[in-house]
């Protein structure tokens, strides 16, 4: 009989559950209302102002169809705005609003700090090793994802 508690897929799913739970608890305790994906989107827009939705989806490895709902919710919260592209009038550029910039600046230190809470059972060296291995495995399997991470062109 297979012991799923020792299988990578099961452990990754469980660690994702823990990660989302810790993120939600810590972020909401400080008065912010953001999901991990919304944080990733805002953080990417801070670093890449003016990108379009498809580019944003690629940067955070999120499904291109589903990212529309994320962008809609962030726009409804007043954290980003869509502008018609000067290069292509059919395209919409995404930009952080002042409120979006303020929230990403306020929340980033909280998100950085909670990373240790996600990996509570590990010491600093083990956390660093695990993150390096997770990054290596994720990059190695990127093409297998239905929403692969894509860099900007």
pLDDT above 70 covers what percent of the chain?
100
Q: What is the pLDDT of residue 135?
A: 96
Instruction: Tell me the per-residue pLDDT of 68-109, one tens digit each, with 9 for 90 and over.
Output: 999 999 999 999 999 988 887 788 899 999 999 999 999 999
Average per-residue pLDDT for the chain = 94
Q: For residue 1, is pLDDT > 90?
A: no
- Reported pTM: 0.92
DSSP code string of the chain: ---GGG-HHHHHHHHHHHHHHHHHHHHHHTT----HHHHHHHHHHHHSTT--HHHHHHHTT--TTTHHHHHHHHHHTTSEEEEE-SS-TTSEEEEE-HHHHHHHHHHHHHHHHHHHHHTTTS-HHHHHHHHHHHHHHHHHHGGGSSS------
């Amino acid at each position: 009989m297979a012991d799923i508690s020792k299988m990578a897929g099961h452990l990754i799913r469980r660690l994702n559950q823990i990660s989302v739970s810790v993120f939600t608890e810590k972020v909401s305790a400080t008065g912010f209302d953001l999901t991990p994906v919304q944080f990733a989107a805002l953080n990417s827009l801070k670093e890449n102002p003016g990108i379009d939705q498809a580019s944003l989806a690629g940067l955070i490895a999120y499904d291109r169809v589903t990212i529309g709902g994320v962008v809609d919710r962030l726009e409804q919260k007043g954290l980003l705005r869509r502008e018609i592209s000067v290069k292509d009038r059919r395209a919409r550029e995404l930009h952080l609003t002042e409120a979006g910039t303020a929230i990403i600046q306020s929340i980033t230190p909280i998100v950085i700090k909670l990373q240790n809470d996600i990996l509570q059972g590990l010491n600093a060296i083990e956390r660093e090793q695990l993150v390096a291995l997770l990054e290596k495995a994720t990059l190695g399997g990127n093409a297998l994802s239905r929403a692969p991470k894509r860099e900007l062109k």
